[in-house]
Amino acid sequence: MPWERRRWLNSDMRLRGDAECRAHYLDLIWISYDQSPIGTLPDDIVLLAKMLMVDRDRFETLCRLPYGPLHNWSRCECDGGEVRLFHPMVLRTLNDAMARREDNRAKSEAANAAKRLQRLRISMAGYDAKMAENDAAVRWVDEWLLEQGIGYRASRWIEKGIRAWADHRLKLGFRGQE
C-alpha cells in the first residue's frame, strides 16, 4: 500500500492531533486494509477498541476530541446493507492501487500477446516465409488457435492453423499469393 507521506506530514490530523490519537488513527488505517470490504472498519466502538487493544472508555474519550482516532472516518452502507466506516484517503489510495493493478495487467497482457505473436510468426516462417510477413495472416492464425483452446502450439496445430487460414482466404475468393 503506498503512503502519501507529504500529505500525511502536512495533514491537520498529524499537526493537531495528540500522539496517542495519531497512533490509533494510523493503526485504524492499517487495520482497514485487512477488513472486508477492504478499506473499511466496523461501526462499533467496542470492537474498534478491542482491535486497537485499548480500554473502551479511553477510546471513546479520545474519539470525542476534534482530532481523535476516527477523524474524517464516515459511515457508509456496504453491500448487504451493512453500515461500516470508511476514510476518503483510504478509499482514494485503494482506487489508485486498483487502477495501477489494472494498468499493469493490461501492459502484461499486451506484452504476452506480442511475444505469442512473435513466436507464432517465427514458427510460421518455417512453413511459408511470405505468409509469416503477413500481419493479417499471423493474427488470424493466432485468433484461430485461441478459439481452438490451444495452449501449447505444437507444429501440428500451427499447420492446422495455416490450413484454416488458406481455407478462410479461399472462402473469401482469394486465389494464389495475393
Among 14-23, 144-153, 166-175, the range scoring the smallest mean pLDDT is 166-175
Q: Mutual orientation of helices 19-32 and 45-52 as an angle, nearest 10°?
A: 100
Among 9-23, 52-66, 159-173, the range scoring the smallest mean pLDDT is 159-173
Rounded CA gap, 142 and 117, in Å? 7
- The last residue of one of the domains, among 86, 117, 136, is 86
Identify whether 100 is part of a domain.
no
Q: Map grid coordinates 491537520 to a residue.
A: 12
Average pLDDT over residues 114-134: 94
**37-to-3, 14, 24, 163 alpha-carbon distances in Å:** 20, 26, 20, 51
pLDDT the model gives residue 176: 61
Which range marks the domain in which residue 129 is found?
Answer: 107-171
Identify whether 102 is part of a domain.
no
Number of residues in the chain: 178
Cell numbers found for residue 58: 479511553
Tell whether 111 and 80 lie within a shared domain: no
